[in-house]
Structures are given as C-alpha cells and as structure tokens.
Structure 1
Amino acid sequence: MGQFETKLAELGVTLPEAPLPAANYVPYVQSGTLLHVSGQISKDGDTLITGKLGADLDVAAGAAAAKVCAIALLAQVKAACGGDLDRLVRVVKLGGFVNSTPEFTEQPQVINGASDFLGAALGEAGKHARSAVSAASLPFGVAVEIDGVFEIK
C-alpha cells in the first residue's frame, strides 16, 4: 500500500472499484500528464444520494455527498494509474455541480466536502482550483456531481 492509500486507510476510507460509466463515454482520458476524469455522482455503494439542496438536503448532507464523489474520483485515478495511486502528482481542478433550488447559494460549502477530504487525504497534492455551481437537476436526481483534472506521472 502506497503513501496515499495508507493515509486514506488512516481516515477510514478504502477506495471502491472505479465506477463504470452510465452512458456513452469513458470514465477518464489521459492527455500527456493530465488525467481528465468524467463526472462522478453521489453514489455510496449501491445507494444514490439524491435530493435538492435548499429543499430536501442541508449543507452538511450535501458536503457528505461531495465527499463520496471525491472518493469515486480517486478510484478512477487509481484505475487510470494501473492500481498505483502514488502516481498521482496533484489534483489540478474540480468542477462541482450541486442540485439545488434557485434560492440556494451555498454551493461552495457543499463542494468543500470534496475539497476538504482531498486536502486531508492527499496533503499538498490535494490542493486544487475549483468551481462550484448550481444545477436545476442532475442525473438520477443525485445531489452532487464532480469531475476533475489530475496530474499523474
């Protein structure tokens, strides 16, 4: 087990198998040293985390859903790296989408669930640029979807 997976284990996290795409796309594309990972939805095991922030879910529940997305992103990175997560150099950028009501304005606090987790799990390599935007709806009614760009070696 490498340094990143050791830290994940200390945090009580075991990466799942990388989720398969739900439609006609690939889970990731590598271009040079950049790995572009398709959007990962808030799905914990077989359970979709659904709902609309500002109506059905509060910020804490949304942040927990975002953390689940970040775990799925790392699972995709590990798969792209042939099972060696230590090939990850850094998280470059996250794009966070929050299923929320028009009045809800705390999208950044929701996506902090992913950002905080990646910082705790990866240290300096987890620091990244980011966007956090509202969406009127997301696939399968999930609460959060996050895509990412990662630098790998």
Structure 2
Amino acid sequence: MSNIESRLAEMGITLPEATAPAANYIPFVQVGDTLYVSGQISMKDGEMIKGKVGDALTVDEGAAAAKTCAISLLAQVKAACGGDLSRLKRVVKLTGFVNSTPDFGDQPKVVNGASDFLVEVLGDAGRHSRSAVSAGSLPFGVAVEIEGIFQIA
C-alpha cells in the first residue's frame, strides 16, 4: 500500500473504481510525465450529486460534491498508473466547473472542497494552480465537474 493509500485509509476513504467515459473520449492521456484526466462529475456511492449551487445546494454542499470529484480524479490517476498511486508526484492544475445560479459568485469556495482534500491527502504535492468557473448547467445536471493535470513518475 502506498503512502497515499495509507493516508486515504486513515481518512476512511476508499477510492472507487475508475469510471468509464460516458461519451467519445478517454478518461486520461499521458504525455511524458504529465497525466491529463478528463472531467470527473460529482458522485457519491454510485449516485450523481445533482443541483445548482446557490439554489438547491449550499456552498458547503457544493464543496462536498467537489471533494467527490477529487476522489474520482485520484481513482483515475491510480488506473493510469497501473494501480500504483505512489507514482503520483504532484497535482499540477485543477479546472472546476460549478453548476450555479447566475448571481452565485463563490465558485472558488466550492472548488476548495477538492483543493483542500488533495492538500490534506498529498501535503505540498497536492498544492496546485486552479480555475473555478460557473456553468449554467453540467452533464446530467450534476453539481460539479473537475478535470485535472498531474505529474507522475
């Protein structure tokens, strides 16, 4: 078990199986030591977390949804690394899309759910550049979708 998986276990988190794409794309692409992971939608226990932040969902509920996206990102990284999470060197960048109302302006607080989780699990290797963007809607009506760029060995 890698240090990352040990840390996840201490936190009571088990990574889900990496999900298959829902359309005509692949879940990740590796170029050199850079891994590009396709957007992961907010899901918990196999169920999509749906709704607009600023309407049906609070900032805290949105942040919890963003955390599930980060968990799914790590699952994809693990799959890309042949099951060996110790190959993950750092999180380079996240781009978070928040299904939010037109007047909602706290997208960064929502995406912090993913960022804070990755720093908690990975320490300094989890610190990353980031964008947090409002979306009028997201696939399947989910609350959050996040894509990531990672450095791997």
TM class, shorter-length: over 0.9
After superposition, residues 51-66 of structure 1 pair within 5 angstroms as 51-66=51-66
Q: Identity rate of aligned residues, in percent? A: 68
How big is the shift at 1:28? 0.1
How big is the shift at 1:124? 1.0
SS in 2 for 1:79: helix
CA RMSD of aligned residues (A): 0.5
What is the aligned partner in structure 1 of residue 110 from structure 2?
Answer: 110
How big is the shift at 1:46? 1.9
Q: Could you state the TM-score of these two structures normalised by the residue count of structure 1?
A: 0.99
- Which deviations, in whole Å up to 9, do the C-alpha atoms of 1:33-63 show, x marking residues without a partner? 0000000000112211000011110000000
Runs of 4+ in 1 over 4 A off after TM superposition: none
- Which deviations, in whole Å up to 9, do the C-alpha atoms of 1:117-143 show, x marking residues without a partner? 000001111000000000000000000
What is the aligned partner in structure 2 of residue 101 from structure 1?
Answer: 101
Q: Does 1:126 align with 2:126?
A: yes
What is the aligned partner in structure 1 of residue 3 from structure 2?
Answer: 3
CA distance in 1, matches of 2:9, 2:150: 21
Structure 2: segments with no counterpart, 5+ residues: none
Paired letter, 1:10: E
SS in 2 for 1:25: coil
Count of matched residue pairs: 153
After superposition, residues 10-49 of structure 1 pair within 5 angstroms as 10-49=10-49
CA distance in 1, matches of 2:19, 2:8: 18
Paired letter, 2:130: R
Structure 1: segments with no counterpart, 5+ residues: none
Q: Could you state the TM-score of these two structures normalised by the residue count of structure 2?
A: 0.99
Paired letter, 2:56: D
Paired letter, 1:33: D
CA distance in 1, matches of 2:46, 2:71: 14
CA distance in 2, matches of 1:7, 1:105: 33
Paired letter, 1:11: M
CA distance in 2, matches of 1:146, 1:45: 18
Paired letter, 1:59: V
CA distance in 2, matches of 1:46, 1:114: 18
SS in 2 for 1:92: strand
